[in-house]
Amino acid sequence: MRNERAFELESITVHYGHARALEDVDLHVAEGEVVALLGDNGAGKSTLLKVMSGAHRPTAGRIHAHGAEVDFRSPKDAAAAGVQMVYQDLALVDAMDIAANLSLGREHVVKGPLGRLGVLDRRRMRKESQAELDALGVRTAPMTRPVELLSGGQRQVVAIARAAARLGERGVLLLDEPTAALGHEQTELVEDLIRALAVKGTAIVIVTHNLPLAMAVSDRVVVLNRGRKVGDIATSLADQDRVVSWITGAAVQGD
C-alpha cells in the first residue's frame, strides 16, 4: 500500500544567527511521489534539503519518516532512516570506474583467505553495479569506464544510482539541481531515471531552477520564497505562469 506520508517535515524553522533561512515550513512526500522544490536564489531550498538529509539540525520543527518521529544529528542518521542525498557536486571519484564508484564503501572481497586480506572481488562489483543500473532502466557505459570519461548526464546517472542502491525499500531520495549542467538529451536521461525510481516506490524531492523539468517530472510542486512556503500544488493543476509568480514573490498561493 502506498504510504502518503513517507517523509514529513512539520513547522521547520532554521535561523543562522539573525538570518532567517526557513520559517515554519511544512513539506511531505509520499512513496512513489516526486516533489519539485522551487524558489529563487536564497529562498531556502538548500537549507531545507540539508535539514532533510541530516546535514543541518533545524532551529525548530519535527521530522517524521514513515510515521515515526526522527532526529537526524548527521547524514549517517538520515541514511539509516533510508534518506539519501545527491549533492550538486555529485561527489564521484573521477579516476575510478563506474563499478568502483557504485561499490565504494560497501566493496565485495573474494571468498577465502585472500578475502580476509581484503582482496577485492572486482567481477562481482562490476556485475552488481551493472544489475543496479539495469534495474533502473538506464544504460550508461561499460562498468569499467572511469567516471572522468563520462558525459555530464552519465555522471549524474551514476551519482543517482549510487544513492538509489543505498536507499533500501521505501527510501527517500533528495536531489540538488540534478540537471543544472546538462543539455537537452542528457536531461531526458536523468528525467527518465527519476521517473523509474518513483515507479519503484521511492519518495523523491528535487531542488531545481529548471521549471520545464519540474513540470515534466514532478507530481507536485512546492515553492519557497524568502524562507516561507508560498505554494504547494499538484503539478497537473499548476499553471506555469502562476508558479513563476510565486517564485518571484509577485503572488502567493490563494491570491
Ligand X SMILES: Nc1ncnc2c1ncn2[C@@H]1O[C@H](COP(=O)(O)OP(=O)(O)O)[C@@H](O)[C@H]1O
Residues that bind ligand X (CB under 6 A): 16, 19, 21, 39, 41-47
Considering CB distances under 5 to 8 angstroms, the limit depending on partner class, which of other proteins, Mg ion, ligand X, none binds residue 119? other proteins
Buried b (16+ CB within 10 A) or exposed e, 210-247: beebbeebbbbbbbbbebbbbbbbebeebeeebbebbb
Q: Which does 44 bind (CB under 5 to 8 A by kind): Mg ion, ligand X, other proteins, none?
A: ligand X
Q: CA 81 → CA 7, 140, 151, 167, 252, distances in Å?
A: 10, 29, 32, 9, 33
Q: Establish if 218 lies at the interface with Mg ion (CB under 5 A).
A: no
Residues 6+ apart with CB under 8 A from 112: none
What is the 8-class DSSP label of residue 131? Answer: H
Nearest approach in angstroms of CB 50 to Mg ion is 10
Q: How far is CA 192 from CA 18, 138, 188, 242, 249, in A?
A: 41, 8, 6, 26, 31
Question: Which residue minimizes CB distance to Mg ion?
Answer: 46
Compare residues 19 and 93 and give the one whose CB is closer to other proteins: 93
Nearer to ligand X, 15 or 64 (CB): 15
State how far the Cα of 99 lies from the Cα of 30, in Å rounded to an integer.
Answer: 31
Residue 46 sits in the site that holds Mg ion (CB under 5 A): yes
Q: Which among 62-70, 134-142, 170-178, 205-213 is the span making contact with other proteins, rule CB under 8 A?
A: 134-142
Buried b (16+ CB within 10 A) or exposed e, 158-179: bbbbbbbbebeebbbbbbbbbb
Alpha helices in 13-81, H assignment, sequence order: 45-53, 75-80
> What is each CA distance from 217 to 39, 134, 183, in whole angstroms?
17, 20, 16
Partner whose footprint covers residue 4, from ligand X, Mg ion, other proteins, none (CB < 5 to 8 Å by kind): none
CB nearer to Mg ion: give 47 or 129.
47
Q: Does 192 bind other proteins (CB under 8 A)?
A: yes
The residue (of 50 and 126) whose beta carbon lies closer to ligand X is 50
Q: How far is the CB of 66 from ligand X (least distance, A)?
A: 26
Number of residues binding to other proteins, judged by CB under 8 A: 48
Question: Quick one: what does residue 215 bind among Mg ion, other proteins, ligand X, none, with the CB cut-off 5 to 8 Å set by partner type?
Answer: none
Going by their DSSP bridges, the two strands 7-16 and 34-39 should be labelled as unpaired
Task: Give the torsion through C-alpha atoms of 24, 30, 32, 36, to 10 deg.
Answer: -20
Q: In this complex, which beta carbon is closest to ligand X, that of residue 47 or of residue 129?
A: 47
Binding mask 163-182 for other proteins (x = CB under 8 A): --------------------
Provide the binding-site residues for other proteins, judged by CB under 8 A. Answer: 75-76, 79, 87, 89, 91-96, 100, 104-107, 109, 117-120, 122, 136-142, 145, 148-154, 162, 183, 185, 188-189, 191-193, 195-196, 199
